[in-house]
């Protein structure tokens, strides 16, 4: 970025009048090496002195605006064609800013919690992935963590960076592997705007309008107010627990003994209070609102683990979040693709099924237009909430984009429950998206359960017959309901001919 200022006259004027003028500044997403979205209007915005004329030049386009009374300004560039050759973007007012090496292609917002935040440096085969990253037209910008009580326009980033061995280790792994697939197929620049925060619930990412739009959502705010009210006592308890923990750890002799002790005795957790990332709407306000209305192709989302114990609320919350994000970005029903939660035991869940209900809530959200989900039910790690196989997650998200946006013919969805019918002592399960027939690699279909009218589920066997599954159990003589992969960490081995896993399902609503 190059900034030119007319120094002498403004300095003299300020000295004579005491006035201080603000430089023209673009929004934080506009920097050297940025990627602009092709084929749609491109907003460019920022701040200046009230009443100041600001001119934006990109290629042959020249657009001007006058800053409003609050100092904000915005112009819209006409839709741009993809461009791999970097160009200058000039923003001129009383000072002039030149942004270098701007390209035009596909821009995706990557958001959610820790599995989206999970970096390439931690992914499977990281050393080779980093060493072979040579994609100067695949670029990434990270939004700094920020919690805000009200929507803010201000944010900080680490700047746009190209996918090179020096940079790519810090990229979102899911986003990178998605973008690499898209770039290699389309050959146009791909930009990732990465705004995520580990361990956060969906309500933190919802806008104030979304939270206010449904009276049922009041419970989230009420829970948070209870948390804030309990904070003083929780803080005092934490400090006492931490003192005891620290004293006990110090009693262990030597660094190795202390490390072993700490492994078996987790450090007390800091209680949540004001400014915590769990604040309802706090992350929308501080990490999404500042991005509005940057032109995007779509959104990638990986979140839900921190809502699993409240899965019954998730569908409504998640659907409202998507609907309002779309409204706030003002670009219609932009594609919104997410990851259906991976298999993980979640030992804190005594039922062993919270994740199953959360996955169901995610699947229900497919009722919104222009949405899709990539399954990770077969590629997680039952003992680690952060599985390292992010390559297949990115690839499955890319399948959705390639088939639904970029016109590349192929399968993007695994077998999906379509209904059941009674056949003697068995239930026949019908599927959509079972092209090529059903497949269970080298072993019987796992994780099937069947129940009668008593609603007690028993392990069941499944016989594949082309694109249907005949399910039965000697323990259930009069079956009425069937479930598949309906646990936190099931062994899910049912696929279609394209190698895509079946969506976990239940035929009941018990």
Q: pLDDT band for position 3 (50/70/90)?
A: confident
Tens-digit pLDDT profile for residues 388-404? 999 999 999 999 999 99
DSSP H or E run through 347? none
Residue 255 phi, psi (nearest 5):
-60, -40
Each domain of the chain, given as residue ranges in start order, spans: 225-278, 416-506
Cβ(165)–Cβ(171) under 8 Å?
Answer: no
Buried b (16+ CB within 10 A) or exposed e, 450-468: bbbeeeebeebebebeebb
Q: pLDDT band for position 9 (50/70/90)?
A: very low
| Confidence at residue 442, expressed as pLDDT on a 0 to 100 scale | 83
Q: Is the dihedral of CA 420, 423, 428, 430 positive or negative?
A: negative
> Three-state DSSP class for 468?
strand
Tens-digit pLDDT profile for residues 150-208? 999 999 999 999 999 999 999 999 999 999 999 999 999 999 999 999 999 999 999 99
| Confidence at residue 259, expressed as pLDDT on a 0 to 100 scale | 84
| Confidence at residue 5, expressed as pLDDT on a 0 to 100 scale | 54
Among 318, 401, 365, which residue's Cα sits nearest to residue 112? 318
What distance separates the 2 farthest-apart alpha carbons in the chain?
96
Q: Please tell me the distance from the alpha carbon of residue 475 to that of residue 458, in angstroms, as a whole number.
A: 7
Q: What is the average pLDDT value for the chain, to the nearest integer?
A: 95
Q: Please tell me the distance from the alpha carbon of residue 395 to that of residue 250, in angstroms, as a whole number.
A: 47
Rounded to a whole number of angstroms, the CA Rg of the chain reads 26
Judged on CB neighbours under 10 Å (0-12, 13-18, 19+), 409 is exposed
| Confidence at residue 254, expressed as pLDDT on a 0 to 100 scale | 85
Instruction: Please identify which residue in the block is written with the tokens 């202390």.
Output: 258
Tens-digit pLDDT profile for residues 59-101? 999 999 999 999 999 999 999 999 999 999 999 999 999 999 9
If you count them, how many residues does the chain have?
Answer: 510
Helices (H), 46-158: 114-117, 126-131
Instruction: Please identify which residue in the block is written with the tokens 């309008």.
Output: 209
DSSP H or E run through 332? none
Tens-digit pLDDT profile for residues 438-452? 999 889 999 999 999
Tens-digit pLDDT profile for residues 228-266? 999 999 999 999 999 999 988 888 888 888 888 888 899
Q: Please tell me the distance from the alpha carbon of residue 246 to that of residue 268, in angstroms, as a whole number.
A: 10
Q: pLDDT band for position 16 (50/70/90)?
A: very low
* pLDDT higher than 70, residue 34: yes
Tens-digit pLDDT profile for residues 496-505? 999 999 999 9
- As beta bridge partners, residue 142 has 194
Q: Is the dihedral of CA 339, 302, 355, 366 positive or negative?
A: negative
Q: pLDDT band for position 12 (50/70/90)?
A: very low
Residue-by-residue DSSP string for 369-404: TTEEEEE-TTSSBTTBSS-S-HHHHHHHHHHHHHHH
Q: pLDDT band for position 4 (50/70/90)?
A: low
Among 371, 502, 479, which residue's Cα sits nearest to residue 433? 502
370: tokens are 């222009």
* 28, 46, 169, 397 from 25: Cα distances, Å: 9, 6, 30, 35
Q: Please tell me the distance from the alpha carbon of residue 120 to that of residue 127, in angstroms, as a whole number.
A: 9
Tens-digit pLDDT profile for residues 414-429? 999 999 999 999 999 9
Q: Report the pLDDT averaged over residues 293-318.
A: 98
Q: Is the dihedral of CA 121, 123, 124, 130 positive or negative?
A: negative
Sequence-ordered list of residues with C-beta below 8 angstroms from that of 193, at least 6 positions apart, any chain:
29, 107, 108, 109, 110, 141, 143, 291, 294, 296
CA 58 to chain centre: 31
Residue 109 phi, psi (nearest 5):
-90, 125
Tens-digit pLDDT profile for residues 352-389? 999 999 999 999 999 999 999 999 999 999 999 999 99
Q: pLDDT band for position 57 (50/70/90)?
A: very high
* pLDDT higher than 80, residue 213: yes
Cβ(486)–Cβ(359) under 8 Å?
Answer: no
* 34, 47, 56 from 24: Cα distances, Å: 18, 6, 11
Kindly report the pTM of this predicted structure: 0.94
Percent of the residues in the chain that have a pLDDT greater than 90, as a whole number: 90
Among 367, 366, 296, which residue's Cα sits nearest to residue 332? 296
291: tokens are 């991005």
| Confidence at residue 73, expressed as pLDDT on a 0 to 100 scale | 99
Tens-digit pLDDT profile for residues 100-151? 999 999 999 999 999 999 999 999 999 999 999 999 999 999 999 999 999 9
* 180, 349, 424, 489, 507 from 353: Cα distances, Å: 34, 7, 29, 9, 15
Q: Please tell me the distance from the alpha carbon of residue 247 to that of residue 171, in angstroms, as a whole number.
A: 39
DSSP H or E run through 477? none
* pLDDT higher than 80, residue 43: yes
| Confidence at residue 144, expressed as pLDDT on a 0 to 100 scale | 99
Sequence-ordered list of residues with C-beta below 8 angstroms from that of 194, at least 6 positions apart, any chain:
110, 111, 116, 140, 141, 142, 143, 171, 172, 175
């Amino acid at each position: 970025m190059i900034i030119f200022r007319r120094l002498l006259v403004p300095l003299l004027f300020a000295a004579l009048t005491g006035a201080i003028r603000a430089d023209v500044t673009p929004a934080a997403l506009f920097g050297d090496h940025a990627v602009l979205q092709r084929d749609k209007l491109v907003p460019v915005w920022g701040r200046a002195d009230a009443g100041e004329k600001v001119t934006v030049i990109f290629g042959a386009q020249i657009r001007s605006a006058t800053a409003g009374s609050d100092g904000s300004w915005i112009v819209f560039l006409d839709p741009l064609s993809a461009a791999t050759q970097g160009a200058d973007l000039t923003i001129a007012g009383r000072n002039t800013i030149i942004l270098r090496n701007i390209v035009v292609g596909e821009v995706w917002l990557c958001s959610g919690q820790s599995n989206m935040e999970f970096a390439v440096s931690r992914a499977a085969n990281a050393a080779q992935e980093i060493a072979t990253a040579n994609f100067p037209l695949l670029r990434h910008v990270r939004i700094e963590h920020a919690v805000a009580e009200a929507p803010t326009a201000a944010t900080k980033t680490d700047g746009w960076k190209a996918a090179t061995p020096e940079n790519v280790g810090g990229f979102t792994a899911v986003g990178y592997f998605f973008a690499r697939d898209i770039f290699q197929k389309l050959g146009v620049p791909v930009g990732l705007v990465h705004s995520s925060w580990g361990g956060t619930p969906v309500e933190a990412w919802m806008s104030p309008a979304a939270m206010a739009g449904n009276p049922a959502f009041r419970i989230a705010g009420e829970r948070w107010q209870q948390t804030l009210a309990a904070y003083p006592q929780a803080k005092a308890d934490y400090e006492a627990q931490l003192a005891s923990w620290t004293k006990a750890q110090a009693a262990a002799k030597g660094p190795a003994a202390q490390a072993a002790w700490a492994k078996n005795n987790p450090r007390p957790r800091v209680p949540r209070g004001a400014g915590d990332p769990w604040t309802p709407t706090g992350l929308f306000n501080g990490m999404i609102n500042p991005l509005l209305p940057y032109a995007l192709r779509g959104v990638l989302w990986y979140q839900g683990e921190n809502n699993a114990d409240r899965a019954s609320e998730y569908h409504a919350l998640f659907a409202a979040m998507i609907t309002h994000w779309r409204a706030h970005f003002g670009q219609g029903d932009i594609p919104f693709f997410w990851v259906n939660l991976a298999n993980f035991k979640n030992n804190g869940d005594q039922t062993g099924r919270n994740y199953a209900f959360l996955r169901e809530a995610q699947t229900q959200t497919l009722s919104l237009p222009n949405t899709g989900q990539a399954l990770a039910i077969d590629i997680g790690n039952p003992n680690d909430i952060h599985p390292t196989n992010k390559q297949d997650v990115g690839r499955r998200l890319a399948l959705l984009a390639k088939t639904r946006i970029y016109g590349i013919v192929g399968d993007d969805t695994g077998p999906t429950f379509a209904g059941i019918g009674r056949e003697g002592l068995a239930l026949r399960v019908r599927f959509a998206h079972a092209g090529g027939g059903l497949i269970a690699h080298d072993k019987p279909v796992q994780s099937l359960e069947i129940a009668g009218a008593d609603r007690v589920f028993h392990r069941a066997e499944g016989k594949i017959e082309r694109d249907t599954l005949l399910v039965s159990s000697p323990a259930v003589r009069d079956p009425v309901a069937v479930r598949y992969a309906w646990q936190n960490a099931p062994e899910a081995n049912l696929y279609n001919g394209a190698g895509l896993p079946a969506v976990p399902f239940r035929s009941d609503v018990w």
